């Protein structure tokens, strides 16, 4: 098997990421509409934001001490607020917060509220895939949620799960998913949620890496009109793990399909139905008091090299940061109804479905389906049905819905909305305007939130505060405790306006702690290139008003519909085919997805390109990774443009992917370092 080709070291490439951000202007300003403000907002105005922000940077320890002390329950208080080292020259990279304290995030999310007597307050409003499925549509109070969490926790204990063990969750977007996450947290188990769209191969890799003896899954789920048979995929993943010498001991299986349970194959001694086990389980379950830095979860995310890495977050810092950002970014107020459309398989679902909202005693909608089923009005039907105050979704969804026209929005009452949140990729101004004008009737704040799996919570935010000047397409201003820095190629800090690598100078409470099983990899990826800062992997521009404009990844990570996919992962899948010699994958501008996947493939001697081979390669990407990794285009090429040291010059491929056969040699920049410059003309000719 031929290994995928390495890339040149990352460079700022904002010009090539232009498709993400076309038509963005510093002086395109929309003032925060007064109608969209709560009468008693958490942030009174921009001065209040500035004052709090400045304090969070100047006196971070006092700032976070105040917030942590007043907003949470601690079994034991901390001895020191933090200990952070972002410099490899100074030693091991570390980030520890609320050192010496003991707490439990599940207790803070549930028991705390039930103990103050608000057990009847609604935590979740479950909205099923099918509009007419009234028997599944239900409310979960804080009391009911806590009771269910305790039972699930006891089931896990009975399966032998102990503090520190990892449990893999492969589930649809139903309330039982956050319930299972909280059950893990309650007993000190570490959860690893794997998005239900990942393949058996991808799931197996994550089960193996985490050494999960217990997997929680579901017979299947309808997403729109499509059934997804999760249990079958989980079984296949267990088989793959078994072949590699690892046995999954138990599967806890939720019953969600209409079909009779008997249609789902259960293996004796290993598989247990969730409802049956939970019904039998004890209703009392003490919480496990956790050290501040005890692991809470791992979440696998794509990197620019190798297989996805297990980003690890711990207990106290993550808890304090997600709760605080939820409150301020969305101005969440008592009795508001929040609605995040993200799946818990992504970090957004962790921080802003499971943890942030519950830590604020919030009420939120959990939606099982997709925004276009039964039609493109579904999200607005939900907004009207539950009188949603804050909606949080991704630019790719906004663009997709915009394409169906305004009538789907206008058919519903959206007057409850105050905040329109966005996350996942830069939002293009056209989508921003539509969100603001059509969805929000020019009355709501558009809160753009830039952050990452590794940062745990919001980092750069366009706060919907009185006096805020929104700039469509700019993530805008740093959140509390976040100190962004732009560096040039030489590692010099850029003062004032400029374009550079986006770095974060000082630690914030929910900084990535490590990559599971490989602290060295974590140090290398995020702290090696520029000593003393956290490397975000994004390029960024700061304008004269101090607003931040994200310009796309500077590494080999694609952002497809707001989901991270490493080009390396797709390339590794493609080269598994016996006829493929080499593959190079780049992104290109895609109207709905933001970025599409473009694969350049060279075949082995004698092999012939064909439509059926193309289908086989697509199937391979889907089975190795999942449908989100399906290449949009495959181009057969005689060779790849490589430097003399064998590195693929991806910028050439990106230009071709973007402009096709019309690309001109003179637009490609310096190609003299290529081992064989004649490859380029052949590449263009083969489009
Ligand atoms: C939360 C999440 C992180 C990468 C990040 C950046 C891109 C996310 C963005 C954004 C511009 C925003 N990104 N939000 N770019 N504006 N508001 O998406 O985490 O899946 O780890 O992806 O997504 O490139 O580096 P994750």
Q: What is the 3-state secondary structure (H, E, C) of 15-84?
A: HHHHHHCCCCCCCCCEECCHHHCCCCCCCCCHHHHHHHHHHHHHCHHHHHHHHHHHHCCCCECCCEEEEE
Q: Which atom of ligand 1 is nearest to the CA of 346?
A: 20
Q: Kindly state the average pLDDT of the residues 94-101.
A: 98
Sign of the dihedral through C-alpha 127, 229, 165, 93: negative
Q: Hey, whose CA ends up nearest to atom 5 of ligand 1?
A: 452
Integer Cα distance of 329 and 41 in angstroms: 11
In short, whether 554's Cβ falls inside 6 Å of ligand 1 is no
CB atoms within 10 A of CB 501: 24
319 Cα–ligand 1 center, Å: 20
Q: Is the pLDDT of residue 18 over 90?
A: no
* pLDDT (0 to 100) of residue 69: 98
24 Cα–ligand 1 center, Å: 18
pLDDT in tens, 159-177: 999 999 999 999 999 999 9
Q: Kindly state the average pLDDT of the residues 389-417.
A: 97
348 Cα–ligand 1 center, Å: 10
The percent of residues in the chain predicted with pLDDT above 70, rounded, is 97
Q: How confident is the model at residue 21 (pLDDT cuts 50, 70, 90)?
A: low
* Strand partners of residue 476: 548
* pLDDT (0 to 100) of residue 643: 84
- From the list 75, 79, 140, the residue with the least C-alpha distance to 108 is 75
In short, whether 196's Cβ falls inside 6 Å of ligand 1 is no
pLDDT in tens, 35-45: 999 999 999 99
Q: Which residues are annotated as catalytic?
A: 555
* pLDDT (0 to 100) of residue 275: 98
Higher pLDDT, residue 677 or 511: 511
- Phi and psi at residue 231, to the nearest 5°: -60, -40
* pLDDT (0 to 100) of residue 303: 82
Q: Kindly state the average pLDDT of the residues 80-98.
A: 98
* pLDDT (0 to 100) of residue 10: 64
* pLDDT (0 to 100) of residue 2: 38
Q: Hey, what CATH topology would domain 30-73+87-549 get?
A: Rossmann fold (3.40.50)
**H helices, E strands: number in the chain:** 21, 34
514: preceding bond cis by omega (within 30 degrees): no
Please name the residue that has the structure tokens 């329109």: 420
Q: Is the pLDDT of residue 305 over 80?
A: no
Integer Cα distance of 465 and 446 in angstroms: 10
Integer Cα distance of 596 and 590 in angstroms: 5
**Token pair for residue 46?**
């921009």
Q: What is the pTM (predicted TM-score) of this model?
A: 0.94
* pLDDT (0 to 100) of residue 5: 52
Domain ranges across the chain: 30-73+87-549, 561-686
In short, whether 559's Cβ falls inside 6 Å of ligand 1 is yes
The percent of residues in the chain predicted with pLDDT above 90, rounded, is 88
In short, whether 553's Cβ falls inside 6 Å of ligand 1 is yes
Q: Residue 631: exposed, middle, or buried by beta-carbon count in 10 A (0-12, 13-18, 19+)?
A: buried
Higher pLDDT, residue 670 or 596: 596
* pLDDT (0 to 100) of residue 668: 85
- Choose which residue among 325, 349, 541, 564 to substitute to test ligand 1 binding: the one with the highest number of ligand atoms within 8 A of its C-beta: 564
* pLDDT (0 to 100) of residue 645: 76
* pLDDT (0 to 100) of residue 27: 87
ipTM score assigned to the predicted complex: 1.00
CATH class of 561-686: alpha beta
Please name the residue that has the structure tokens 């970025």: 595
> What average pLDDT does the chain have?
94
pLDDT in tens, 553-609: 888 899 999 899 999 899 999 999 999 999 999 999 999 999 999 999 999 999 999
Q: Hey, whose CA ends up nearest to atom 22 of ligand 1?
A: 452
Specify whether the CB–CB gap between 98 and 81 falls below 8 A.
yes
Integer Cα distance of 630 and 274 in angstroms: 33
Helices (H), 587-677: 611-624, 650-659
* pLDDT (0 to 100) of residue 3: 43
């Amino acid at each position: 098997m031929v290994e995928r080709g390495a890339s040149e070291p990352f460079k700022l490439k904002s010009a090539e990421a232009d498709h993400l951000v076309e038509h963005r202007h510093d002086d395109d300003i929309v003032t925060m509409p007064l109608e969209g403000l709560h009468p008693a907002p958490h942030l009174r105005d921009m001065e209040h934001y500035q004052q709090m922000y400045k304090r969070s940077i100047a006196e971070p320890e006092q700032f976070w001490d105040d917030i942590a002390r007043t907003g949470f329950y601690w079994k034991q208080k901390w001895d020191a607020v933090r200990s952070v080292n972002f410099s490899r020259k100074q030693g091991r990279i570390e980030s520890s917060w609320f050192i010496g304290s003991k707490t439990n995030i599940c207790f803070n999310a549930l028991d705390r509220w039930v103990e103050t007597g608000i057990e009847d307050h609604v935590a979740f409003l479950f909205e099923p895939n099918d509009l007419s499925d009234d028997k599944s549509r239900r409310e979960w109070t804080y009391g009911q949620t806590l009771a269910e969490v305790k039972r699930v926790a006891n089931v896990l204990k009975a399966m032998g799960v102990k503090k520190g063990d990892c449990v893999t969750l492969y589930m649809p977007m139903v309330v039982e998913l956050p319930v299972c996450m909280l059950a893990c947290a309650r007993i000190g188990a570490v959860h690893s949620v794997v998005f239900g769209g990942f393949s058996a191969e991808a799931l197996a890799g994550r089960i193996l890496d985490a050494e999960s003896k217990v997997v929680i899954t579901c017979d299947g789920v309808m997403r729109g009109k499509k059934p997804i048979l999760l249990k079958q995929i989980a079984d296949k993943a267990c088989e793959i793990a078994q072949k590699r010498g690892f046995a999954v001991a138990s599967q806890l299986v939720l019953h969600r399909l209409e079909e009779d349970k008997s249609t789902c194959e259960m293996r004796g001694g290993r598989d247990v139905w969730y409802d049956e086990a939970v019904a039998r389980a004890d209703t009392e379950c003490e919480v496990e008091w956790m050290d501040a830095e005890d692991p809470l979860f791992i979440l696998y995310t794509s990197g620019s090299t190798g297989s996805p890495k297990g980003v690890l977050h711990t207990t106290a810092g993550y808890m304090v940061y997600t709760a605080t950002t939820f409150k301020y970014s969305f101005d969440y107020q008592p009795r508001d109804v929040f609605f995040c459309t993200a799946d818990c398989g992504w970090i957004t679902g962790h921080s802003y479905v499971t943890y942030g909202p519950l830590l604020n005693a919030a009420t939120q909608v959990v939606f099982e389906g997709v925004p276009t089923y039964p039609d493109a009005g579904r999200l607005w039907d939900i907004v009207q049905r539950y009188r949603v105050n804050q909606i949080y979704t991704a630019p790719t969804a906004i663009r997709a819905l915009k394409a169906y026209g305004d009538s789907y929005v206008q058919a519903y009452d959206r007057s409850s909305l105050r905040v329109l949140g966005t996350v996942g990729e830069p939002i293009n101004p056209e989508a921003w305007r539509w969100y603001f004008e059509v969805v929000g009737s020019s009355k709501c704040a558009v809160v753009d939130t830039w952050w990452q799996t590794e940062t745990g919570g919001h980092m750069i935010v366009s706060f919907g505060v009185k006096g805020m000047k929104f700039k469509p397409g700019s993530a805008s201003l740093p959140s509390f405790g976040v100190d962004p820095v732009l560096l040039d190629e030489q590692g010099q800090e850029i003062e004032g306006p400029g374009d550079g690598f986006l770095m974060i100078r000082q630690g914030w409470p929910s900084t990535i702690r490590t990559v599971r099983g490989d602290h060295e990899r974590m140090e290398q990826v995020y702290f090696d290139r520029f000593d003393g800062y956290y490397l975000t992997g994004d390029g960024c521009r700061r304008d004269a008003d101090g607003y931040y404009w994200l310009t796309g990844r500077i590494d080999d990570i694609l952002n497809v519909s707001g989901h991270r996919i490493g080009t390396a992962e797709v390339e590794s899948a493609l080269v598994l085919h016996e006829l493929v010699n080499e593959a190079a994958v780049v992104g290109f501008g895609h109207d709905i997805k933001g970025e599409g996947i473009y694969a350049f493939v060279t075949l082995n001697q004698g092999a012939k390109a064909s439509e059926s081979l193309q289908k086989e390669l697509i199937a391979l990407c889907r089975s190795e990774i999942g449908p989100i990794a399906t290449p949009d285009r495959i181009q057969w090429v005689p060779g790849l443009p490589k430097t003399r040291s064998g590195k693929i010059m991806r910028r050439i491929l990106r230009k071709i992917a973007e402009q096709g056969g019309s690309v001109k040699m003179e637009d490609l920049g310096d190609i003299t370092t290529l081992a064989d410059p004649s490859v380029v003309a052949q590449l263009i000719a083969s489009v």
